[in-house]
Amino acid sequence: MLGLACLGITALRAYPNPVIFLPFIAMVALASLASTVGHSTRERARQREAMGQGPGGAFLLRRETRTIADANQDFAELLGYAREDLQEMPASRLWPYADDRERFFALAKPGEGSTIIETQFVGRDGKTHWFVLWGRCIDDAVISCRVSDITRYKEAEAALNAEHRRLFSVLDTLPAYVTLQREDHTFRFANRAFRETFGNPEGRTCYEVQQGSRRTSGPALSTPCPALRSRPGR
In a domain, 45, yes or no: no
CA gap 205, 118 in Å, rounded: 35
Q: Are residues 95 and 182 in the same domain?
A: no
The answer to whether 123 and 78 have CB atoms below 8 angstroms apart is yes
Asked if residue 16 is part of any domain, the answer here is yes
Give the C-alpha separation, 49 to 108, whole Å. Answer: 21
Closest Cα partner for 55 from 88, 77, 86? 77
Q: What is the pLDDT of residue 7?
A: 47
- 102 and 165 share one domain: no
| 33/16: higher pLDDT | 16
**In the predicted structure, residue 62 carries a pLDDT above the cut 70:** yes
The answer to whether residue 49 scores a pLDDT higher than 50 is: yes
Single out the residue in 128, 149, 170 at which a domain terminates. 149
Does residue 64 sit in the same domain as residue 140?
yes
The domain in which residue 198 lies consists of 154-221
Query: Do 76 and 132 share a domain, yes or no?
Result: yes
Considering the domain boundaries, does residue 233 fall inside one? no
Domain assignment present for 226: no
Domain boundary, last residue among 149, 172, 196: 149
Predicted local confidence at residue 34, as pLDDT: 47
Instruction: Give DSSP secondary structure letters for 72-101.
Output: -HHHHHHTT--HHHHTT-BHHHH---HHHH
Measured distance CA(2)–CA(35) in Å, rounded: 12
The C-alpha angle 60, 63, 66, rounded to 5 degrees, equals 80
Residue 22 lies in a domain: yes
d(CA 122, CA 154): 15
Q: What is the pLDDT of residues 92-121, one digit of tens each?
A: 999 999 999 999 999 999 888 899 999 999
Closest by CA to 48, choosing from 19, 17, 87, 105, is: 87
Q: Report the predicted TM-score, pTM, of the whole model to 2 decimal places.
A: 0.62
Task: Tell me what pLDDT residue 28 has.
Answer: 52
Which of 85, 115, 149 represents a domain boundary (last residue)? 149
For residues 102 and 4, what is the distance between their CA atoms, to the nearest angstrom?
42
**64: in domain:** yes
If one counts the domains in the chain, the total is 3
Statement to judge: residues 167 and 204 lie in one domain: yes
Does 47 fall in a domain? no
Q: Any idea what the Cα angle at residue 155 is, between residues 153 and 160, rounded to 5°?
A: 95
pLDDT value at 74 more than 60: yes
pLDDT, mean of residues 31-54:
54
Residues 117, 136: Cα–Cα separation, whole Å: 12
Same domain, 135 and 58: yes
